[in-house]
Amino acid sequence: MNDADSLKDYPRVRLAAIRSLFEIVEQSSEGTIIVDREARIVWMNERYARRFGLKSAAEAIGRPCESVIPGSLLREVVDSGTPMLLDVLDAPKDPLVVMRLPIRDDVGEIIGAIGFALFDELKALSPLLTRYQSMQEELASTRSLLQARQAKYSFAHFIGTSAASLEVKRRARRSAATDSSVLLLGETGTGKELLAHAIHSASPRAHKAFVSINTAAIPESLLEAEFFGTAPGAFTGADRKGRAGKLQIAQGGTLFLDEIGDMPLPLQSKLLRVLQEKEFEPVGSNEMIRSDVRVIAATSCDLEAAVRQGTFRADLYYRLNVLPIEVPPLRERLDDLPALCEAILDELQQDGRRHHELSPAAAGLLRRHAWPGNIRELRNVLERAALQSDDAQLDEASVRVAIGRIEPLSPAAPARTEPAIRTDNFHQARLQFERELIGAALAEHGGNVTAAATTLGLGRSTLYKKMVALGIVSDVRASLIKETSLQ
C-alpha cells in the first residue's frame, strides 16, 4: 500500500491522527498533567511541576490536583465528562492558556482527565486582545449612538385627515421610497420635523442614523465644523483629536437640515458641492471623505424670495427642491383640530395626568383662532389649559386664558376647510360625509382597501359594505377586490 492509499483507510488514519495530535500538543505544551477518577495527580511533566514550585514531579503524585495547581478545573472535567477546549488559568508567573480533556476507558467510562498548558505567551496575544476590546467598546458606543439617532416619529404620528393633511402624507410617503432631496416648506410648528423623521423611518435608510442640524441655532463660526467635522490638530484644546461632523455621523442615513434658509452663503456653496460631488473635506484636512446621505431640508421662510434677494443660492435651491412638500398652516386645515386635540389630550394623560376633553364652546373657540404657532402652539395651549383646570372638561374660559391673545382668522384668508355639507337632510349629509372620508382614505392609499380600512379604524369587510352602499364600487367589483386581496 503506498502512502496515498493508506490515507483512504479511515480507522487507521484516525488512529494516526490521534497519535500525531497528542504528540504535537504534548511536545509544544508548556506542561501536561494527568489525574485519576478522584482528580488525584497520576502524572505530571517536570517542567510543569517546577512552574508550580515543586522540585520534581514525583512530589505531586497522589495529591489532589488543586493542592498543586490552585484553580485547576480538572475535577470538574472528571465529574462532568465535558472537555474544556480553551480556558485561561491564573498561574504564579503569567496566566496560562489551557485545554482539559476527559479520559475514557474502552467501554466509555471516565477514568480520569488530562490537562495541557498550551502556552504561556499570553503577552503575545495582548495586542490582539486590546484591539478586540477596543473594537467591542467602539461597537457598543456606535450602537448606543445609533439608538439615540433613530427617528422618533413615523407617519402614524402625523395626525390629520383633512384633505390637505392627507395630501401632505401622500407626498411624504412617496418621497420615502426615493433617495432624492426633499424640501419641506411651511410655517413654524406645522410638523416639518415630524415629517422628516417619518420619511426617514419609512425609507430604506431607516436602520441608519437620522441626524438633524438646525442652521439657525448654531453660531455661524461653528457651523462649518459642526457640519463637516474637524481633522486632528485643526484646533487646539478640546477638539485637538478631531471630531466627526454631522455629515459623517449621518453616513448611510438621513441628514435633516432645519431652517435651511438661515444657512450662510459660504456654507451654502460647500453644501452644494457635497450634494453634487458626494464628498467633503473636514475642516483642516486635505482628505476627501465620500458622503452617502439623503438630505431632507426644511424652512419656514420664503426661499424663492431669498433667492431673488440674493441671500440664498439659486443652484442650491434647485438641488434641494427636487421633491417640495408644502405643509399648510393649521388655520387652513381646521378640520384636523378634533383629531389633533384628542391625540394631544390623550398624550397628556399618558404623562400621568387626568384625562381632559374640550367643551363644545372651547372647541368652537379653537376654530376661531389663527394659530400662528400652529400645532406646537395648539399643544402648548392644551397643556396649559389642562394644567390649570380641575375639571375633566376644559371650558371656553380656560382655553381662552391659555391662548392668551386670540388672533382672529383673517376674513381675507378664510379657513380652507373641507367642502361644506350641501344639504339640510341629516341622512344625506351623513352619506356625503362618509363618501368624502372614505374617498380621501382610498386616495391616500392609492385605492388599497385594506390600508384605507386600517386608517379609518374599520374592519375590511365593513369598509367594503360601506363602499357598495355609498356607490363607491359596484357589488361585483367589491367582491372581486375582496377575493384578490384575500388571496
Ligand X SMILES: Nc1ncnc2c1ncn2[C@@H]1O[C@H](COP(=O)(O)OP(=O)(O)OP(=O)(O)O)[C@@H](O)[C@H]1O
- For ligand X, the binding residues (CB under 6 A) are 157-160, 186, 188-194, 258, 298, 300, 340, 375-376, 379
Question: Are 45 and 115 within 8 A, CB to CB?
Answer: no
**Complex with ligand X: residue 39 or 456, whichever CB lies closer:** 456
Q: For residue 412, give the DSSP letter.
A: T
User: What residue is closest to ligand X based on CB?
Assistant: 191
69 contacts 89 by C-beta, under 8 angstroms:
yes
* Beta carbon nearer to ligand X, 300 or 389: 300
Measured from the CB atom, is 231 or 375 closer to ligand X? 375
Residue 105 Cα distances to 110, 215, 350, angstroms:
6, 77, 68
Q: Which is nearer to ligand X, 188 or 248 (CB)?
A: 188
- To ligand X, the closest distance from the beta carbon of 327 in angstroms equals 7
- As beta bridge partners, residue 99 has 116
> Quick one: CA dihedral 437, 438, 443, 449, positive or negative?
positive
Task: Between 157 and 482, name the residue whose CB sits nearer to ligand X.
Answer: 157
Nearer to ligand X, 379 or 445 (CB): 379
Provide, rounded to whole angstroms, the least separation between the CB of residue 97 and ligand X: 56
Q: How far is the CB of 165 from ligand X (least distance, A)?
A: 6
Q: How far is CA 392 from each of CA 191, 353, 388, rounded to the nearest angstrom?
A: 28, 11, 11
Identity of the residue, 212 or 291, whose beta carbon is nearer to ligand X in the bound complex: 212
Least CB distance to ligand X at residue 124 (A): 56
Minimum gap (Å) between residue 271 Cβ and ligand X: 19
**Minimum CB–partner distance for residue 420 and ligand X (Å):** 23
Q: Where are the beta strands (DSSP E) in 159-278?
A: 182-185, 210-214, 229-230, 243-244, 254-258
Residue 441 beta carbon to ligand X: minimum distance, rounded to whole angstroms: 16
Contact 72, 89 (CB under 8 A): yes
- Yes or no: say if 44 and 70 are a contact pair by the CB < 8 Å rule: no
Tell me which residue has cell 437640515: 257
CB of residue 192 to ligand X, shortest distance in Å: 3
User: Smaller CB distance to ligand X: residue 61 or 339?
Assistant: 339
Which residue, among 244, 250, 299, 243, has the nearest Cα to 150 in the 3D structure? 250
Q: Are 21 and 114 in contact (CB under 8 A)?
A: no
- State in Å, rounded, how far the first CA of the chain is from the last one: 66
Phi and psi (nearest 5°) for 242? 90, 150
Q: Report the candidate in 236, 234, 238 with the shortest Cα–Cα distance to residue 224.
A: 234
Report the alpha-carbon distance of residue 225 to residue 249 in Å, rounded.
13
